[in-house]
Copies of this chain bind each other. A is one copy, B any other.
């Protein structure tokens, strides 16, 4: 049997935004494996497409665009279209139906849009210029405003990069979903923040940012308007938050000045992740206050990046706890070095 003497110990860390515990378990990263990578059959009847529906010349493959930016020659450089395979797309009120047996459901009311970020099929936010990232963020804000006006309960802006992050098409794109209800997890985060506000009279998220800045070990980069950091209780290796310094509950409130600053900061983080981790698959999501809670003084919106370097398994399914094999202070140190390095 091998020597177990110098194996690092695990610890539990409380995520102050949910009060849930994350298990930081460095020794889990040392496990042996006898498995080769293999493809797994999936349920989908999807077929590998010959033409990419997001490329120039294939505009007929998508529903009509709802927003478009042109280049100097009058060709589109960014398009927003309804998702042809929308998870939510119906109009009308989110009226509950209760079956005889007591099952509760409602129609799939909402919106689901695709932001086709560039005509360059092989492009990426990390390899394009800062103007590309600025365009994408600007369009996020424009569509957020439009969907908010249509009374969405929550607007979720996210990006899936790479197959293991759930992408089905590799052409660079983001997605925006407007839901007819505020999900339980989002409600829970707001309740936790409200309790903190009741107890302390301060904004939990502003306090978290100050705490991370005071500690310093999780900080990835700082700009005038934003801080990128890996939270003390990160649920994933290299989980990185990009948060405004201002107490601002909703992404809809972001100013032009902040947008300029954020574009630079986001690009630097994505470039560093790409360099350090060899273009990892990742998800990012903008966690913003629901439209009916935009005036709250106890939340700060943020962009949360979650690289897909491990696989949640049965333990996570049963407990809802996450196991992170890579302490964020070590990951942040590596990423800090890679930023502009």
Contact = CB atoms under 8 A, between A and B. Distances in A.
Interface of A: 1-2, 4, 9-14, 16, 18-21, 23, 25, 27-49, 52-53, 60-63, 84-90, 94, 99, 101-108, 154, 156-160, 162-171, 175, 177, 179-181, 183-186, 188, 207, 211, 214-215, 232-233, 237-238, 277-278, 280-281, 283-287, 304, 306, 308-315, 317-321, 323, 325-326
A310 B42 CA distance: 7
Nearest to A166: B313
B21 A183 contact: yes
B105 A11 contact: yes
Contacts of A102: 207, 211
A103 to B, nearest CB: 5
Count of identical protomers in the assembly: 2
A208 to B, nearest CB: 9
Nearest to A174: B314
Given A183-B319, A283-B317, A313-B283, A29 B10 contact: no
A158 B317 contact: yes
A43 B237 contact: yes
A53 B180 CA distance: 50
Contacts of A4: 63, 84
A235 to B, nearest CB: 9
A85 B320 contact: no
A314 B10 contact: no
Contact of A53 (B32, B156, B163, B320): B32
Contacts of A37: 38-40, 163
Contacts of A166: 310-314
A287 B163 CA distance: 30
Contact of A319 (B156, B168, B214): B156
A25 B184 contact: no
Given A9-B107, A33-B169, A285-B314, 17 more contacts: A1-B60, A25-B108, A29-B46, A31-B46, A33-B47, A33-B49, A35-B169, A44-B310, A154-B319, A160-B313, A165-B314, A166-B310, A167-B313, A179-B319, A183-B320, A186-B320, A304-B317
Contacts of A33: 44, 46-49, 168-169
A170 B36 CA distance: 10
Contact of A61 (B1, B53, B103, B312): B1
B13 A108 contact: no
7 contacts: A10-B108, A34-B170, A35-B170, A37-B39, A165-B314, A175-B314, A177-B315
Contacts of A39: 37
Contact of A104 (B13, B89, B106): B13
A-B CB proximity, top 4 nearest: A185-B320, A166-B313, A158-B314, A37-B39
A13 B313 CA distance: 24
A9 B48 contact: no
B108 A156 contact: no
Contacts of A186: 319-320
Given A29-B43, A33-B49, A280-B40, A86 B314 contact: no
